[in-house]
């Protein structure tokens, strides 16, 4: 790797002093492109170009990636936690995710060569003389997280097929079908091509959730009792919290998305587009479905209505079940692809080597995701395990670390900086608590659950 590590204090702050909001964007715009190690290199005469996304296309990809599986688990989280605490957590964590997402954007603009969490780890640990360790540590974590999310989508596809067909065949067969379909949609190499899929994904999840809300309001399967607060044990409550955190777990792919934007400084617009959309949708869907579904509302939430309505909703949700997983699979494959071919012309060619490598990498990743889906066939437990291991850090904790790194040595230079320092220290602590507690409760839940066996033909459970 050829990245040059520049200390943010010595190279910028010590020379220019404090930089207010927008300074990183201005700096990016003023620098000549050849001063940076762009992850895709020079694309002036390339056969395949990657940096082609408009900000709204990137926003649609981010929405399609984020608003999918997460929204399906929120009504059951509300039922577990109670209406008031759940709404506070959904809105509060959404606001916090907006701030942490903005910090990721600032880090990317400061270090434009960063394409993945592995690149970011190289920068972070490079300050302490351990760039290779940082790259491998965070890069591997990002890849594992994305593969787990891919597995979640294959699992949801299996649940959907069991619902539509009344479990007409072995669940493993449905899982393989989901694997094949996802792999086919993952063939395009650029996010711009994938972005057109995202419109179908967004339309499908909107339609599916609306059908579920209308149907459940008419059928009213709940007993009419709404719990503003509930009395539950710590393990059960924290399991529900991890499902809310998972709903905001798109940050792991943000560096890759920004890298393929035509104008990276437009990123804040894409972030606000995403966060406004998902926070509103999460809150409305979770409250309405819980209100009419009651304390026994199911997860995924599409299963909470009558069999006929559930089949209709699942059928309409097929695009988002597949495409949201495909987007995460694309980011995972792109991480390996860029790492292998970075600095060469192979990324920009339509040769047997370049196309074959992309297809091979994607196929291997989807097979691994299928194995994970079959090994942990319980929707909520899989989400909580993923959240504890990865989302706790990629969505929250690491963002605080990035901010502390970018502002090294300036933590208390004025009252505003001191407040932001405190906030980001708290964010790091939140990430650590979500990880530690989440691992405990998800491990306990997977151990205690005997309703589904690994690699079983039985209908996968929610």
> Cα(first)–Cα(last) distance of the chain, in Å?
43
Q: Is 378 helix (H, G, I), strand (E, B) or coil?
A: strand
Which of 225, 285, 209, 216 has the alpha carbon at shortest distance from 82?
225
pLDDT (tens digit per residue) in 120-175: 999 999 988 999 999 999 999 999 999 988 988 898 888 888 888 887 778 889 98
Separation CA 340–CA 289 (nearest Å): 46
Determine, yes or no, domain membership for 5. Answer: no
Q: Could you tell me the two tokens for 327?
A: 């987007």
Determine, yes or no, domain membership for 87. Answer: yes
Domain membership of residue 398 as a residue range: 51-448
Distances (CA, A) of 5 to 128, 142, 241, 341, 356: 11, 21, 37, 21, 33
pLDDT value of residue 458: 64
Determine, yes or no, domain membership for 15. Answer: no
pLDDT (tens digit per residue) in 47-67: 888 999 999 999 999 999 988
Separation CA 334–CA 182 (nearest Å): 15
Whichever domain contains 209, its CATH number is: 1.20.1740.10
pLDDT (tens digit per residue) in 178-211: 999 999 999 999 999 888 899 999 999 999 889 9
131-150 core/surface letters (b: 16 or more CB in 10 A; e: else)? beebbebbbebbbbbbbbbb
pLDDT (tens digit per residue) in 377-395: 565 566 667 778 888 999 9
Determine, yes or no, domain membership for 29. Answer: no
Determine, yes or no, domain membership for 76. Answer: yes
Phi and psi angles of residue 194, each rounded to the nearest 5 degrees, phi first? -65, -30
Determine, yes or no, domain membership for 140. Answer: yes
Helix (H) or strand (E) holding 77: helix 69-81
- State how many domains the chain has: 1
Determine, yes or no, domain membership for 60. Answer: yes
Determine, yes or no, domain membership for 4. Answer: no
């Amino acid at each position: 790797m050829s990245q040059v590590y520049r200390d943010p204090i010595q190279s910028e702050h010590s020379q220019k002093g404090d930089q207010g909001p927008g300074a990183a964007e201005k700096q990016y715009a003023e620098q000549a492109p050849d001063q940076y190690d762009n992850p895709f290199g020079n694309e002036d005469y390339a056969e395949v170009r990657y940096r082609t996304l408009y900000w709204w296309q990137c926003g649609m990809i981010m929405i399609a990636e984020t608003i999918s599986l997460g929204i399906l688990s929120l009504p059951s989280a509300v039922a577990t936690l109670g209406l008031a605490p759940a709404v506070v957590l959904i809105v509060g964590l959404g606001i916090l995710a907006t701030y942490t997402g903005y910090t990721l954007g600032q880090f990317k603009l400061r270090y434009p060569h960063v394409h993945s969490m592995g690149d970011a780890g190289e920068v972070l640990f490079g300050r302490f003389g351990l760039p290779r360790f940082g790259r491998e540590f965070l890069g591997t974590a990002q890849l594992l997280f994305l593969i787990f999310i891919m597995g979640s989508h294959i699992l949801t596809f299996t649940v959907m097929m069991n619902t539509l067909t009344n479990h007409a065949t072995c669940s493993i067969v449905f899982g393989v079908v989901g694997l094949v379909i996802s792999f086919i949609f993952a063939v395009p190499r650029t996010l711009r091509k994938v972005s057109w899929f995202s419109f179908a994904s967004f339309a499908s999840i909107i339609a599916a959730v609306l059908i579920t809300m209308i149907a459940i309001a008419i059928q009213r399967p709940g007993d009419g009792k709404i719990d503003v607060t509930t009395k539950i044990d710590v393990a059960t409550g924290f399991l529900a919290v991890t499902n809310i955190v998972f709903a905001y777990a798109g940050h792991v792919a943000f560096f890759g998305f920004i890298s393929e934007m035509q104008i990276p400084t437009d990123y804040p617009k894409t972030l606000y587009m995403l966060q406004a959309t998902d926070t509103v949708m999460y809150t409305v869907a979770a409250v309405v479905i819980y209100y009419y579904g009651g304390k026994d509302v199911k997860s995924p939430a599409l299963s909470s209505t009558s069999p006929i309505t559930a089949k209709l909703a699942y059928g309409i949700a097929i695009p988002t079940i597949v495409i949201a997983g495909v987007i995460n699979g694309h980011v995972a494959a792109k991480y390996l692809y860029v790492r292998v071919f970075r600095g060469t012309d192979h990324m920009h060619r339509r040769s047997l080597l370049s196309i074959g490598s992309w297809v091979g990498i994607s196929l291997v990743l989807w097979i691994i995701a299928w194995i994970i889906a079959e090994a942990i066939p319980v929707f909520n437990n899989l989400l909580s395990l993923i959240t504890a291991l990865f989302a706790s850090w990629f969505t929250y904790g690491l963002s605080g670390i990035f901010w502390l790194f970018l502002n090294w040595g300036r933590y208390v230079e004025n009252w505003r900086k001191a407040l932001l320092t405190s906030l980001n220290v708290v964010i790091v602590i939140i990430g650590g608590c979500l990880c530690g507690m989440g691992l405990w409760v998800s491990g306990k839940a997977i151990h205690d659950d005997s309703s589904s066996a690994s690699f079983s033909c039985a209908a996968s459970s929610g």
